[in-house]
Amino acid sequence: MKPIVVVGSINMDLVSRTERIPQPGETVIGSNFQLHSGGKGANQAVAAARLGYPSILLGVIGDDIFGRQLLSTLDGFGVDTSHIGTAVGSSGTASIVVDSQGENTIIVTSGA
């Protein structure tokens, strides 16, 4: 089987659940917080690997704790990470707020 090569983002998703999404200038209390490995490219590479296809991801992570965790997670899913570069600075992040109805707001900071 030929490998599926994916070029794309590798982000750490910081997900906060709240009763409702805050209005500008407002603070609301969260009910749950989780970290998830994400990014459009990383998600596609993991999906291919989970289906049993050889999967190679091309992208860049930061030299921070998120970068190390993202690389470890991708390796754990069987994604070939040998072509992922490391840049000085932060990895990409997505700050996500999800309300009780499942609506969300997302801020993506590209980072590396």
Instruction: Write down all domains in the chain, each with its CATH number in brackets.
Output: 4-109 (3.40.1190.20)
* Average pLDDT of adjacent 10-residue blocks, the chain of 112 residues: 95 98 96 96 98 97 97 97 97 97 96 90
In sequence order, the 6+-apart residues with CB closer than 8 A to the CB of 111 are 11, 62, 89, 90, 91, 92, 93
Identify the sign of the CA torsion 44, 50, 55, 57.
positive
In angstroms, the CA 53 to CA 51 distance is 6
List Cα–Cα distances, 27 to 10, 21, 41, 89, 104, in angstroms.
Answer: 29, 9, 32, 29, 16
User: What is the pLDDT at residue 1?
Assistant: 86
On whether the pTM is more than 0.85, the answer is yes
Q: How do beta strands 104-109 and 92-98 pair?
A: antiparallel
User: How far apart are alpha carbons 23 and 38 in whole angstroms?
Assistant: 26
Enumerate the β-bridge partners of residue 6: 57
